Each structure stands twice: as structure tokens, then as C-alpha cells.
Amino acid sequence: MSSRGLFSNRLGFILAAAGSAVGLGNIWKFPFEVGLGGGAAFVVMYLIFAFLLCYPVMITEVAIGRKTQKNPVGAFKALGYNNWKFIGILGLIAGVVILSFYNVVAGWAFGYFVEMVQGNFAVGENFGSFTSDIFKVGIYSIIFMFFTAFFVSKGVSGGIEKLAKVLMPTLIVMILALVAYSFTLPHAMEGVIYYLVPDISKIEISTIGGALRQAFFSLSLGMGALITYGSYLSKKDNIISSATFITLADVGIAFIAGLMMFPFVAFNLGGDMSPVMAGEVGGPGLIFVTLPGVFQTLGSTLGMFIGSFFFLLLSFAALTSTVSLLEVPVSYMVDEFHIPRLRAVALVASFIFLFGIPSLIGNGYSEFFTSGFNIPGSADFMSFLGKLADIMLLFGGCCIVSFAAYIWKKENLHEELAQGYDGYHASFVKTFVNFTVSYVSPILLALLFVMVLLDNFFGISVF
């Protein structure tokens, strides 16, 4: 066992990395992005991007991490390319930005658990007053950051793999049960059609950009989280099959979460999906507004039980992601500055919590942070940060694959991937990795990065 604390086995790594990927991005963000992005056309683009563009980035990140056994900044230095450590630094910044608002939403999820335990189904209709009660949501997000810090202080190979092991199957069963229930409700089919039957005319630049941003965010790519987790992976383990499992688990859970949500939304709207298409219903409040009312239809006792269990699971799913977000800057401080882990955790977690205050108060409490940020499509600080972080992830992902293919060189990447995978050199997977990492991912990601940047921040649509 290395002093950095390797995962106890491959399953430990897979579970922790899948735990990082599966989180609020799948259950909170994916459905509302689909809603805003025009429904099924978005889903199709998302699936294509996840497997064609993101999967190679994931493989590359894990390989760089395992090769160097370092955090994202140290990794580029360790390979001998000091100039490229900017990728790692940007990743650290993106992680800090994401965690600052992610922790706020995770606090809402935890707060909803508390409300559901008390049988308060009306919290959904009063979502706006819930989020603007900053004393309450402030406490929830402090509690959440505290739990995150606790797990990170123990090291990722500790509790987090155990948590993910129980959590992942339970979450899947819970969502599938809710999918089954949602299909029994009136107007379910209108929701399913919106979600699954693509209307090609709906594909606009914002659909494409939104789907790509979502795929990166959901798979935890582009900021070095998987470089960090890869650094704890043993040389005996197969990177390709691990990455395949993580991608399938993440995409699968997002997909079924959508299958659960849209019938519920259609039920709430009496079958008329036009407010969703017009962007009047949806956005970051989607699950928080819709679900409590749905749980109420189960009757007060069962509804309270299922509702609180659902939000508890969602909080745990968020926790395995916040842990990976905090781990990136913490491992950087521990590796590079030799700061004791506990002190690094306390420093970084406190800083990020403070940095999250504008997001906390920007959901109703502070007029300025709620509506003062006029970027196309949204006006609140949290959405602004969300888009900023997404664009950083795209840029990071593009740089990581380009670096691996052309600077570090493909041969070295293949060499790393072959460790723990007998027969890699003769496999089709090698051809796929070679082609996507050299051409498809860098070129398409660079083009899409520019398109998304122009569209999201300047309102300029290139077609």
C-alpha cells in the first residue's frame, strides 16, 4: 500500500469514481437541462457526446492520474511538462467554483429530507421561500460542507467507497420504482414523448452546447477529478473496463432519472408540456418544485416515507460528488505543499463555503445575486457560475486529450492503458482510443468550446 492510500481494490476505485459522477448532475441538473434544451433532441445529443467525446477524456484522465500518482497540477509536472500544469490549475479553480454552488444545492436536498420527514409536502410550492430563508439553507449547507470535509479528511479510499457501494444500487432501485409509479399517473405519456421522441427541428446551438456541458459535468470530467482518483488506482487494474462501467452507470442513472421526472412534470401540468418548452416551468427548481407534490399523491404516511428516503438518497449521491470535488484541491495542497491533510481540508472547505455565499443568497434573498447577472438565458449568480464552470470543464477536457495525444504522446498513453489489460495492443479498443484521442475529441471539443462560449456568454449563435 502506498503512503498516498490506494483504493483497496478495483471495485473501490470504480465505486468512488462512479460516486463522483453520479450526483446532483444526474437527478437535479439533467432533467432541467433536458427541459430547457428542448426535450428528446437534447437527450440524443447528450448520449452521443457522452460516449464519443467524454469517454475518451475519462480514459485519458485516469491514465494520467495512475501513471503519475499525483494531483492534477503535480501530474503534468511529474510527466516533465511544467508548462502544462496550467490545465491542472484551471481544474482546481473549476472544482472550487463548482463545489461553491453545488454545496448550496446539496444543502437544499438535505433540507428537503428534513421537510419530508415532517410531512411538509407544501415545501415544493414554496420553493422560493425555502431557498430565500438563508438562515435555514445556510445551516443546511454548513452541515453539508462539514460532512464532505469529514469524509475527505479520512482519505478517499476510506469511507467513500463503502458509502457508494450501498448507495448506488439503492438509488437505482428507488428511481426505477418511481419510474414505474410515474407511468401510472394521468398524462404520463405526454411527458415520455417530450423526453424520448426527438424533434430534429429543436436542435439549436444551445441544445448542442447544453448537452455537451451536461455530459462533461455529469461525468466529472475536465477538471482533473479523475486524474486525482486515478492516482489512487493500482497498476494491476484495467482502466478501460473501469471507465466503461463508470460511463454506463452515470449515463444510465441520468437516463432513468429523466424517465421518472417527465411523467411527473406532465402530470403536474395536466399534460400540457408547452410551459416546459417555453422555459416557464423548469430550471434549477424543477425537482424541488415537482417532487413533493408527487410524493403527496402517495398518501401522507407512504409519501412521507418515500419522499424523505428519496431526498436522503439524493443527499448521499451529492455527498460522494462533493467529496471528489473537495479532494482535488486538498490533494494538491497535501502533495505540493506538504500541508497536513486535516489542516488542508479545514482551510479549503471554509474558503469554498465562503465563496458559496453569493450562490446561497442568490436564490431569492439578495436581489442583486438573484437577478443581476444578465447572461443569455439566466440572471442569477449560481447559473452564471454553473455556465462558467461548464465552459472551464470543456476547455480542460480539450486540453487534456490534446496534451495526451500530441505532447505526452499516444504511445505513452497506450502503454499505461495496456497495464492491467492483457491483449490491449491487439484490441479494437486501442484503435478507438487512438482515433478519438488524436482526432475526434480534440477537434470537436475545440470547435464546440468556441461555439458554447459565444452562445452562453455573448448570445452569439454561429448557426
CB of 88 to ligand PFF, least distance (A): 13
Q: Which residue lies nearer to ligand PFF by CB, 220 or 438?
A: 220
- Hey, which residues between 33 and 92 contact ligand PFF (CB under 6 A)? none
Q: Which amino acid is at 457?
A: F
Phi, psi for 375 (deg, rounded to 5): -100, 155
- Hey, which residues between 433 and 452 contact ligand PFF (CB under 6 A)? none
* Nearest one of 320, 305, 270, 264 to 288, comparing CA atoms: 264
Nearest residue to ligand PFF, by Cβ distance, number only: 25
- Hey, which residues between 99 and 128 contact ligand PFF (CB under 6 A)? none
Which of the ranges 22-30, 191-199, 202-210, 404-412 carries the binding residues for ligand PFF, by CB under 6 A?
Answer: 22-30
Calpha distance 437→60 (Å, rounded)? 8
Q: Which of 223, 246, 314, 330 binds ligand PFF (CB under 6 A)?
A: 223
Does residue 194 interact with ligand PFF by CB under 6 A?
no
Q: Which residue lies nearer to ligand PFF by CB, 103 or 218?
A: 218
Q: Which of 21, 45, 404, 451 binds ligand PFF (CB under 6 A)?
A: 21
Phi, psi for 269 (deg, rounded to 5): -95, 10
Residue pair 6/232 in contact (Cβ under 8 Å)? The answer is yes
Which of the ranges 23-31, 134-142, 163-171, 444-452 carries the binding residues for ligand PFF, by CB under 6 A?
Answer: 23-31
The residue written with cell numbers 433532441 in the block is 41
Q: Which residue lies nearer to ligand PFF by CB, 322 or 438?
A: 322
* Nearest one of 73, 90, 65, 66 to 336, comparing CA atoms: 73
3-state secondary structure of 389: helix
Q: Which amino acid is at 403?
A: F
DSSP letter at 378 equals: B
Beta bridge partners of residue 378, listed in sequence order: 375
CB of 422 to ligand PFF, least distance (A): 31
Q: What DSSP letter does each residue of 374-396 carry, written as one string?
A: -BTTB-SHHHHHHHHHHHHHHHH
Q: Which of 43, 97, 225, 433 binds ligand PFF (CB under 6 A)?
A: 225
Length of the chain: 463
Does residue 24 interact with ligand PFF by CB under 6 A?
yes
Query: Where does this chain bind ligand PFF (CB under 6 A)?
Result: 20-21, 23-26, 95, 98, 217-218, 220, 223, 225, 321, 324-325
